[in-house]
Chain A
Amino acid sequence: MQVNGEFRPLIVAFCCNWCSYAGADLAGTNRLNYPADVKIIRVPCSCRVNPMFVLRAFQRGADGVILCGCHPGDCHYTSGNYFTRRRMTLLFSMLDFMGIERERTRVEWVSAAEGAKFAKTMNEFCEAVAKLGENKRLEDLRCKK
């Protein structure tokens, strides 16, 4: 999306309810700034995120998709993020294989105490995606405004 002549990426962030969503809340409570480009979608656990959702976001115009979950070993449901880790490793590797820019996808573990890490991660991710520019390789022209 172009805002005042500058490209602003659209970032979809899936956050697990127990750690990362709480971490994002903490970033807010501590007034830690990160770009408004980031739109958070709450899921019970990172393992709820279906690869379909990631592709859907790209289809609808997202320029980057990030998943945040509890640190391995800290999952509220004991094992959810371990499955996420495998699923997303393979999915991202496949997207890379298909020639989709690697920097558009990311998984980060953020605990409920890591508000600062959440803000830092989002800042970094936004910057990295902004550098890539608009998502062209996984876009669906019908969804363009």
Chain B
Amino acid sequence: MHRIGVFVCHCGTNIAATVDVKAVAEAVREETGVVFSADYQYMCSEAGQTLVQDTIREQRLTGVVVCSCSPRMHEATFRKAAAKAGLNSYMVEIANIREQCSWIHKDMVSGTEKAIILARAAIAKVMLNTPLTPGKTPVTKRALVIGGGIAGIQTALDIAEAGFDVDIVEKQPTIGGKMTQIDKTFPTLDCASCILTPKMVDCAQNEKIHIYSYSEVESVTGFVGNFTAKIKRKARFVDEKKCTGCGECVEKCPMKKVPNEFNLGLDNRKAIYIPFAQAVPKVATIDANYCLMKKNGKCGLCSKVCGAGAINYDQQDEIIEEKYGAIVAATGYNPIKIDKFDEFAYSQSPDVITSLELERLMNAAGPSNGTLVRPSYLSKQDDHEAHPKTIVFVQCVGSRSTECRKGSKEYCSKICCMYTAKHAMLIREKYPDTDVYVFYIDVRTPGKLFDEFYRRAVEQYGVHYIKGMVGKVSPRADGKLDVQGSDLISNEQLHVTADLVVLATAIEPDKTARSIGTMLTASMDTNDFFTEAHPKLRPVESPTAGVFLSGVCQGPKDIPETVTQASACAAKVVGLLVKDELTGNPCVAHSDELMCNGCSACEKVCPYGAITYSDKEFRQPDRTVAIRRVASVNPAVCQGCGACTVACPSGAMDLNGFSNSQIMAEVDAVCR
């Protein structure tokens, strides 16, 4: 038996001026199931709430309808009040007779009439409400950070700072990411290593942080608060615990001709290597593709010279399994491949380079020890003048592309305008006799001290900024480069004879991001950037609960922005890990296994990956047992949108709080 109480609020005169509240209370008293109705000046006031609570107790109400302001305003208030009086808080429904009635209608008759209809709809719904209890799930107090660049490092440090264990999984032999390859940072021109390496050391020394370098995440299962990840520790053939990082092995390794990825192939490294002096962990790694011992079993020099006995040629990949409460994607970016951009002659001339390659050429620890020389001189391909005298920078190579060229991107890579200004300025500072040209579409410098920085490049350092794009770069017989471009302001074609051309190459999410996104059931956009839970209000969370986003994997950003986002992300992770258990929203979907076809339609439309399938045995009417594939919803992951309920043809999926029958009862009531 339903025992519904209806409470009609005057809201002062806000409602009472256009709705005859007494008439509403009167009218609904006639409704089936309603045992009590009353009106009151301010239902949300202390006294009003007491009235509701007393009535619940006295009248043994099974459901409450409050005719008042929008549920967005006071639904929570009345639910709490009901719970205090011993009624399940989900047995309360609000009829919105203020925002959607009294405030929009001027006429008392139609206002009152509509208020009664809205009240009836709420009564019809509340009769079908079921008591709901939010589920509780425990939280594993450990975070996983995928990617050990500046984003991952900052997030890990902040989470550890709050007292939680963090694991960083980095696929390279060292953490540090792209920032380790950068020479100076804009707009302050301080050296990247000087600010990054202390943070890397902090990570290594922090007891709460565990670094899995040269490792990759193999699989992730579970859900918010309860993830299980399998991490593959790739064999580096060196015992991390024993290696002291002395570098004796690297010194003695006879295999010298391995392209050095840290310097982007501008020089070579050994088959056993430590990426750079400040690597963390500072442990050698054997590159099995080049190691003579690994390839044909003849060498073993490194093993002989290693005083610590750390070399182990038989080491195998190892899979470890760990539980996490939260997972952070910090997978970062890479410059796009520009071999296909023939017009810039990147694959034809060594003196056409990307901006990241320029960083290495200008870095004191780089292949030229910080002296800016042409790569063709560096690789001894010619003996012309070592220093480039004329340098042309080309902006937006592969970014902001409107053509459908494979590999080019529609978006702005965001960092290029600023780093090009930095490069131009540094070159003009160190080599004042060098002419520097920058071809650009627009110069975009929003950010603190950014525009000032760019203006300094133009005004103080005399960098030639030319609005227009470069059409073609042609290597000449004398080793120089003919750069043909347009100047849109003076409306003319230009030819610049350059010694070095630097391409501001578009950046794209790391190739591993897509597979990690799939593992985490975290949604991604068409460019493979991770999608935020809300583009404005929840920018560091993925729509998948418990998955967070740090750094460029969410969208192009510079170092200050990355660090800001990384810390914001950590704050969100800490906010999750600090809870002992998670209270879910009970208004989630659920599937009726007896009706489920197992067709997977619901899974396809679920943005949260909350739906899984399993084969279950069912007794048939003829007493045989049939095995059927049926869906189940993980209530900890489901957010209650209801997309699955409509995708399901059999109606097996329904949504708590907004069930098919509840909505249809409301439809029936308003159409009555």
Contacts and interface: CB of A to CB of B under 8 A. Distances in A.
Q: Do chains A and B touch in the complex (CB under 8 A)?
A: yes
Interface of A: 10, 12, 17, 21-22, 24-29, 31-34, 36, 39-45, 47-53, 56-57, 60-62, 73-74, 76-80, 83, 87, 119, 143
Contacts of A10: 670-671
Interface residues of B, number: 49
B27 to A, nearest CB: 15
A98 to B, nearest CB: 20
A59 to B, nearest CB: 8
A77 to B, nearest CB: 4
Nearest to B648: A50
A48 B104 contact: no
B671 A78 contact: no
5 contacts: A21-B70, A28-B70, A41-B667, A47-B646, A60-B668
Nearest to B604: A83
A45 B589 CA distance: 13
A47 B99 contact: no
A24 B607 contact: no
A41 B641 contact: no
A43 B607 CA distance: 17
Contacts of A28: 70, 98-101, 103-104
Given A28-B70, A28-B100, A48-B645, 4 more contacts: A33-B105, A43-B642, A47-B641, A48-B643
A53 B645 CA distance: 12
Contacts of B101: 28, 36
Contact of A24 (B99, B640, B660): B99
A52 to B, nearest CB: 7
A87 B643 CA distance: 11
A83 B646 contact: yes
Nearest to A42: B71
Contacts of B663: 41, 43, 48, 50, 53
Nearest to A34: B104
A60 B643 contact: no
A51 B71 CA distance: 25
B19 to A, nearest CB: 11
B106 A33 contact: yes
A37 to B, nearest CB: 9
Contact of A62 (B523, B646, B671): B671
A77 B639 contact: yes
Contacts of A41: 121, 663, 666-667, 670
Nearest to B73: A25
B642 A44 contact: yes
Contacts of A76: 534, 641
B672 interface: yes
Contact of B607 (A32, A57, A77): A77
A74 B655 CA distance: 22
A62 B587 CA distance: 28
Most buried by A among B104, B114, B605, B642: B104
Contact of B671 (A43, A60, A119): A60
B658 A78 contact: no
B664 A45 contact: no
Contacts of B587: 44
A41 B534 CA distance: 25
Contacts of A62: 667, 671
A61 B117 CA distance: 14
